[in-house]
Amino acid sequence: MTVYEALSTLVSYAAERGMLDRLDTAYAYNRLLSVMQLDGAEMPRAISPMPPLSEVLSVLLDDAVERELLPEDTVTYRDLFDTALMGELTPRPSEVVRGFFERYARSPREATDWFYRLAIDSNYIREDRISRDRRWSVPSRYGTIDLSINLSKPEKDPRAIAAAKLLPQSGYPRCLLCHENEGYAGNAGKPARQTLRQIPFEMAGERWYLQYSPYVYYNEHCIALSERHAPMKIDRTSFSKLLDFVTVFPHYFIGSNADLPIVGGSILSHDHMQGGRYVFPMERARAELGISFSGYTDIEASILDWPMSVIRLVGDDKERLVSLADRILTAWRTYSDESAEILAKSGEEGHNTVTPIARRRGERYELDLVLRNNRTSDEHPLGIFHPHAERHHIKRENIGLIEVMGLAVLPARLLTELDEIANLVLSGKGVDRSSSLAPHADWVDSLLSRYPFTRENVHEILYREVGEIFTSVLEDAGVYKTDDAGRAAFLRFVDFVNLKN
């Protein structure tokens, strides 16, 4: 495939997928020539059948590298360049917004189906990378737990990191979630977003935008982000926004990370939420204990049989749900129970918050409040209700919204490490404690003492064991443990909420 054939094939690809009107093909071809810094040649016939998009882009990227259009031949610079190419073929934001709401008038699901397909077709979501992610499920006493090793988010090349440090700090866009990223060309320190498109909508009287995550941790992984660059804050209006979202998009769930370090997400500087079309294990969790809140007999409330500490509220009236959720949050912000290691404050620093999640069940609304506390101690310096040290070899990072709901997002390093561990246990060997696998040494010794490994069972055992460790991680993160003492402590908090009425 020649460079000009690749360009022609890209134009044909965009037209076939409805990204480009046939009347605009010559214009689009010339725009691509400009990005490639080519004087041009008459547009040749497109390659048929259409090769994979990644293959067509590779031809163009390799040519750009050969002609030194890229500073370095790294993933970072290749991504910047091919996004510039695809950005020339992606419809303008106004066209996308118009197309979305034309379809929304017929069906919210039709609108999001179309919008999600556009994110894939424009290569904003890189399907060739997503397909490499490892996903599996394991049984647990709480039901099925989902796990993933995400390989679609490229690791920063050291050369790109060094180059980013030398760039002038413009402060624009202010963060990765600002609306101003739409169409941004990017650089060594910030990803290109020429193919990013966002849909404006309102929640609780404020302008927000809907977009998709380029890394797709689960099906139709979307992000709702505030028009304002303002920090995460969980309060009464957060619950209103969540329930407004599932009113506008009833086929999606929506949730917010907590608003405190350790128990929050990786970005606390910009208010945002995450949703999508995926049934998480926590959604399927059974109600273990029915509870009631005075003055709210119209709302069904329960404590879930789940390793995290979850109060589920179900009702028909959004305002009533918001009112009760706010009452629970207000009480939790001030609540301490030293016997359960829960302290609301250290000096002026607050420790209690919630991770809220909303969804629809037919016409009814369902709101989950996951109680969180970010205290640390000498024994647990990264967090008392955080993955404990003996499990850091599998999961060390914060337990955010996605993991709270029962989907582990595990580091890419684990894939290679598990393959190396498989080879070790098949030979009956433990881990060399001076090697890069040293953090797994005690775990591997335990595995060797418990299992007769064969080539047929080794990977099934290892991946199941990883799932059991992640389940224990969720138990670590639960403020109330799932034993009798923990349930009694949980009910003391419910009583406290009722006393605060």
Q: Quick one: three-class SS letters along 167-205?
A: CCCCCCCCCCCCHHHCCCCCECCECCCCCCCCEEEEECC
The pLDDT of residue 169: 60
Kindly indicate the confidence band of residue 64, based on its pLDDT and cuts at 50, 70 and 90.
very high
pLDDT of 167 above 90: no
pLDDT of 43 above 90: no
H helix or E strand, kind and range, residue 388: none
What is the phi-psi region of residue 216: left when phi exceeds 0, alpha when psi lies from -120 to 50, beta otherwise? left
* φ, ψ at 176 (rounded to 5°): -70, -15
pLDDT of 137 above 70: yes
Any idea how long the chain is? Answer: 501
**Residues 182, 207 contacting (CB under 8 angstroms):** no
Q: Which two tokens stand for residue 86?
A: 């695809």
Instruction: Return mean pLDDT, the chain.
Output: 93
The pLDDT of residue 264: 84
The mean pLDDT of 216-231, rounded to a whole number, is 95
Residues 263, 281: Cα–Cα separation, whole Å: 19
pLDDT of 158 above 60: no
**Residues 342, 352 contacting (CB under 8 angstroms):** yes
Nearest C-alpha neighbor of 188 from the set 170, 214, 162 = 162
The pLDDT of residue 157: 56
